[in-house]
Structures are given as structure tokens and as C-alpha cells.
Amino acid sequence: MSFQIYFTDERRGLEGTPVPVADSEEEFRNTTVEELKRRLIPEDQLEDTILRYRSKTLKKNRTLGSYGIKHEDGITAERRGGTYTQTYEQHSSDGTEITNTYRFEDDDDLHRTQSMDNLVLMQKTEPWLCCVS
């Protein structure tokens, strides 16, 4: 059995393209992001491209298994230095749905304080919002 991911790279017109990664689950989990990136991205675009999984920038020295990436999950290529948008839905006490959208810069090289600032934004709730159980 071949273990694969679905790869999207809008610059090259690829969307959800199946890419074989390994012949065993163990080999798949132990594949580094750097190894995968070299298979997916042309040599002249390696330095200015980042890979993302579920809005998370993948670090080149980590393995697919360390991110919990599994057979047939999707990986996206983006130009380094870009921004991405993440939307969070919340509900007010009267049941009204509130959608907040935050834009973040490529966080591949963020300092710890910048990373913590982004985390605070993602966890921020308005004082008039309450949790519904």
C-alpha cells in the first residue's frame, strides 16, 4: 500500500493532487517536512515556499508524524512572506453567531513574543460573549 497526501499549490495550478509519500505507515510518519518539500516543490522555489497543514506552518526538521499528518491528509504550498486568514465562530448569549477573521503573517520565523500575541488574538473573546454548554 502506498501512503499519500493530497497536495495543493495554486501557483502551479495543483489542487488536491494525490502524491505518494511512502510505502509503509512508519516510513510515512518518519518522513521529514524537508524531504516532502523537496519532492513537491521545484528546486528554484524551495527557499520562498512554505508548507502548511491545517493553517500551521510546517518546520522543515520535523516529521509528518510529529504534526499528526495521516494518509490522505491535505498539504498546501504557499509563497513565503504571505498572509493567511483564519476565521473563528462564536455565539453570543442570545444565540447570535459572531464570526471574527484574523489575518496573520507567515509565522515560520516569528519570535516567541509575536507568536504569543497571535495566540492571544486567537483566544480573545468579547466580554459580552458567553459560553453555551
Is 103 within the bounds of a domain? yes
> Where in the sequence is the domain holding 96, given as residue range(s)?
83-123
d(CA 120, CA 124): 6
**Predicted local confidence at residue 108, as pLDDT:** 47
- The β-bridge partners of 14 are 9
Q: Is the dihedral of CA 27, 45, 11, 105 positive or negative?
A: positive
Q: Closest Cα partner for 91 from 125, 121, 123, 120?
A: 125
**Predicted local confidence at residue 111, as pLDDT:** 46
d(CA 19, CA 22): 10
**Predicted local confidence at residue 38, as pLDDT:** 94
67 and 9 together in one domain = yes
Is 133 within the bounds of a domain? no
What pTM value is reported for the model?
0.60
Q: Which residues of the chain have pLDDT under 70?
A: 81-93, 95-133
For residue 19, the domain's CATH number is 3.10.20.90
**Predicted local confidence at residue 87, as pLDDT:** 54
57 and 11 together in one domain = yes
Q: How many domains does the chain have?
A: 2
13 and 26 together in one domain = yes
